[in-house]
Amino acid sequence: MRALVQRVTEASVHVDGALVGQCGPGLLVLVCAMEGDEDSRPAAMAAKIARLRIFRDDAGRMNRSLLDTGGAALVVSQFTLAATLNGNRPGFSTAAPPERGEALYEAFARELAALGVAVETGRFGADMKVALVNDGPVTIWLEL
């Protein structure tokens, strides 16, 4: 499982012009299930992200987690995180098949919410328009 985590002051996702998910201060999490990901990966990734210490403490240092700040998360599926390049055209064959990818994506969102994080999501497989205000900017790549 791969994730690109961005600390945001706000983020939103629209499908066909309609708002389907949003969050205020917290994280935008772009998630990709990979071929061969085990059922335990979503819980492990959710725990890692919820505890990732990338929010400022009172001294201005990145020392607080999403759980510490009470921030929210907008979770968006993004199979293109599986991109491999052979020349100039990316391939996505290392991504989990769509049915499996959707199940793991939904499990990740549920696991993150079960940890106490307010979670909203995009729509799996849809053509989504994602907007964000990256705070910092802080962007972290994770792979489990």
Predicted pLDDT at 86: 87
Predicted pLDDT at 46: 98
Measure the CA–CA gap between 42 and 138, rounded to whole angstroms: 22
Cis peptide before 137 (omega within 30 of 0): yes
Residues in the chain where the model's pLDDT stays below 50: none
Strand partners, 14: 19, 129
The model's pTM: 0.95
Query: Which helix or strand (DSSP H or E) is residue 110 part of?
Result: helix 98-114
- Among 1.10.10.10, 3.40.50.1260, 1.20.1090.10, 3.50.80.10, name the CATH number for the domain at 2-138: 3.50.80.10
Measure the CA–CA gap between 46 and 114, rounded to whole angstroms: 9
Predicted pLDDT at 6: 98
Measure the CA–CA gap between 112 and 138, rounded to whole angstroms: 20
Tell me the residue ranges of DSSP E strands in 24-123: 26-32, 55-56, 62-64, 72-77, 84-85, 90-91, 118-121
